[in-house]
């Protein structure tokens, strides 16, 4: 019985892989995707076998900045998120929260070391990168105002949740600051409420 083959778009030449090989690669990548628990880890998945130097060039940042992103020292800003989406097709919601489809061409390696970009066409939820950047700054300010000591990925996840909700709303550029301000008022109220209920959603988030 003849083998089934899939055409796989590569980073360089076109390659053909057998169905079994494709399934093994997909399974391996899926396992890695499940294990990626932080923004930095997911960003490393996007970079794949690309060097930090080349990745930095595509994102128009310094190599050292890529290192900080991948070590979860800094969260990518709106401009970088926009380039990640436009250049690599990254689902910003997946990158920031780990939820939903990653929306990228998964870069995987074959046993002989070749790098393959396997295209996935699953449903994705996109966050406006510029809106996310503004919301991230606002969320960080609210946490600081209330004395919360939180790690970067917690701020990123909260900002992604709010930005996703706001992305579904209709408002003009002029109205955006007011919309974000309203969302922050709701967040501030929710966090203050959780402070009075230690067993609520803020459990584990201790004021600094």
CATH number of the domain where residue 85 is located: 1.10.260.40
**Last residue of a domain, which of 51, 85, 118?**
118
Residues 140, 88, single domain; the answer is: no
Residues 50, 95, single domain; the answer is: yes
Say if 124 falls within a structural domain.
no
pLDDT (0 to 100) of residue 113: 45
Residues 36, 108, single domain; the answer is: yes
Range of the domain at 185: 129-195
pLDDT (0 to 100) of residue 153: 67
pLDDT (0 to 100) of residue 123: 31
Strands 115-118 and 106-109: antiparallel
Say if 184 falls within a structural domain.
yes
Task: Show the tokens assigned to 119.
Answer: 């295209």
**Last residue of a domain, which of 68, 84, 118?**
118
pLDDT (0 to 100) of residue 194: 77
What does the alpha-carbon distance between residue 54 and residue 2 come to, in Å, rounded to a whole number? 40
Residues 16, 84, single domain; the answer is: yes
Residuewise pLDDT in 10s, the chain (208 residues): 443 333 333 333 333 344 444 445 444 444 444 445 788 988 988 888 788 998 999 999 999 999 999 998 988 888 888 888 888 878 887 888 777 666 544 444 444 444 444 333 333 446 677 888 888 889 988 988 888 766 666 787 788 888 888 888 888 889 999 999 999 999 999 888 877 765 544 434 545 4
22 in Cβ contact with 37 (< 8 Å):
no
Residues 99, 135, single domain; the answer is: no
Rg (CA), the chain: 20
Say if 52 falls within a structural domain.
yes
pLDDT (0 to 100) of residue 116: 40
Residues 170, 67, single domain; the answer is: no
Closest to 39 (Cα-Cα) out of 1, 2, 80: 80
Residues 80, 154, single domain; the answer is: no
Residues 87, 32, single domain; the answer is: yes
pLDDT (0 to 100) of residue 64: 94
41 in Cβ contact with 34 (< 8 Å):
no
What does the alpha-carbon distance between residue 59 and residue 170 come to, in Å, rounded to a whole number? 29
pLDDT (0 to 100) of residue 68: 93
Task: Show the tokens assigned to 184.
Answer: 């922050």
Residues 20, 112, single domain; the answer is: yes
Query: What domain count does the chain have?
Result: 2
What does the alpha-carbon distance between residue 16 and residue 105 come to, in Å, rounded to a whole number? 16
Sequence-separated (6 or more) residues with CB below 8 Å from residue 139: 155, 158, 159, 162, 184, 187
């Amino acid at each position: 019985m003849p083998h089934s083959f899939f055409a796989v778009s590569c980073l360089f030449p076109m390659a053909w892989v057998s169905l079994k090989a494709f399934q093994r690669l997909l399974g391996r990548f899926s396992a890695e995707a499940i294990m990626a628990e932080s923004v930095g880890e997911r960003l490393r998945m996007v970079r794949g076998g690309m060097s930090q130097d080349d990745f930095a060039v595509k994102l128009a940042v310094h190599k050292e900045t890529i290192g900080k992103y991948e070590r979860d020292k800094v969260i990518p800003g709106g401009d970088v998120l926009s380039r990640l989406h436009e250049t690599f097709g990254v689902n910003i919601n997946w990158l920031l929260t780990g939820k939903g489809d990653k929306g990228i061409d998964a870069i995987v390696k074959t046993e002989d070391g070749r790098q393959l970009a396997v295209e996935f066409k699953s449903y994705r939820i996109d966050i406006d990168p510029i809106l996310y950047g503004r919301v991230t700054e606002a969320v960080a300010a609210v946490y600081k105002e209330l004395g919360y000591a939180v790690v970067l990925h917690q701020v990123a996840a909260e900002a992604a949740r709010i930005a996703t909700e706001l992305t579904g709303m209709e408002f003009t550029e002029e109205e955006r600051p007011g919309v974000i301000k309203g969302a922050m008022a709701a967040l501030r109220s929710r966090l203050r409420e959780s402070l009075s209920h230690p067993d609520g959603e803020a459990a584990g988030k201790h004021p600094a």
